[in-house]
Amino acid sequence: MAVATAGGIVGAMRLARSSGWERPDHIVDVAVGAVLAGVVGSRLNYLLLYERAEFFAHPVVFFQFSSGGLIFHGGLFLGVIVGGILAWRYRLGFWETGDVLVPFLAAGYGLVRIGCFLNGCCYGRPSSLPWAVAVPILSDGVLRHPAQLYAAIMGLILGAVLLWFFRRRPFPGAVFLAYAFGSALERIIEDFFRDTLMYTQSLTLAQLVSLMIMAAAVALYIVRWRYFCRAKHLGTNS
């Protein structure tokens, strides 16, 4: 996470500078604030979902990170809120800031999943494929999908695609919304291979949340696209 954060901040600063930002250094404050909020949000999401009684009885359990317990969607939600507030404070623009940050957020997610693989968490379902691996922390000898590496590859690819799309974005916010759609699709695919709790007979809770995020991203993309086209048309006529 530290490597992903540091590398993402450097990359976002360079992208902001090359895009003509007057104060690209402000992206550091926004990114750090969003990352810290993301850690808090992901931890709270996990505790409220899986260890609610323990958390309310002993709130200090929040700081016991050594036992694991982070959920990405909670971190994304709070990170976007705090990052948006900081972007507004520095007058950077929510959509512009989001477009600059999300390529590195996607790639950073991929790097963090490599950490998950090394740690032995977020492991996959049993598999007989040639690249299936045993998870030492389970001590059961069962070969499983390296779901963490699947997620890492998808995250790095998504980051590269978003960086390519940034130079071709049709309107501010297009990259951010493309990330929302792409990362949600990525999680849906990941959970088909990951050994996790099922919310229904065929879907996990994360997949259901991701489906809602995808629908919201498509709707907002259409709204933003129409708004941009209308504004561009009015500007041309004037």
- Mean pLDDT score across all residues of the chain: 88
What range does the domain containing 171 cover? 2-237
What is the rounded CA–CA span in Å between residue 238 and residue 236? 5
Residue 148, pLDDT > 90, answer yes
Arithmetic mean of pLDDT, 103-121: 91
Residue count (the chain): 238
- What percentage of the chain has pLDDT greater than the value 70? 95
- Residue matched to tokens 């992901």: 42
* Total tally of structural domains belonging to the chain: 1
pLDDT at 49: 78
H-assigned helices in 120-168: 147-166
Distance (Å, whole) CA 61 – CA 3 = 26
Query: Would you say the pTM of this structure is higher than 0.95?
Result: no
Residue 18, Cβ density class (10 Å: 0-12 exposed, 13-18 middle, ≥19 buried) = exposed
Q: Could you read off the pLDDT of 158-199 as tens digits, one per residue?
A: 999 999 999 999 999 999 999 999 999 999 999 999 988 766
Instruction: Determine contact, residues 80/42, Cβ cutoff 8 Å.
Output: no
Q: Under a CB-based contact definition with an 8 Å cutoff, are residues 69 and 47 in contact?
A: yes
Q: Are 72 and 187 spatial neighbours (Cβ–Cβ below 8 Å)?
A: yes
| Separation CA 131–CA 137 (nearest Å) | 18
pLDDT, one tens digit per residue, over 68-111 is: 677 777 888 888 899 999 989 888 889 999 999 999 999 999 99
Looking at residue 145, what is its pLDDT?
Answer: 95
Look at residues 171, 142, 28, 30 and name the one whose alpha carbon lies nearest to residue 87: 30
> Sorting pLDDT into bands at 50, 70 and 90, what band is 213?
very high
pLDDT band at 131 (very low <50, low <70, confident <90, very high): very high
Joined together, the tokens standing for residue 22 give: 């007057």
Instruction: Render pLDDT for 31-74 as a digit per residue (tens, 0 to 9).
Output: 889 888 988 888 888 888 778 888 888 888 888 766 667 777 78
pLDDT at 133: 95
Residue 116 pLDDT > 80: yes
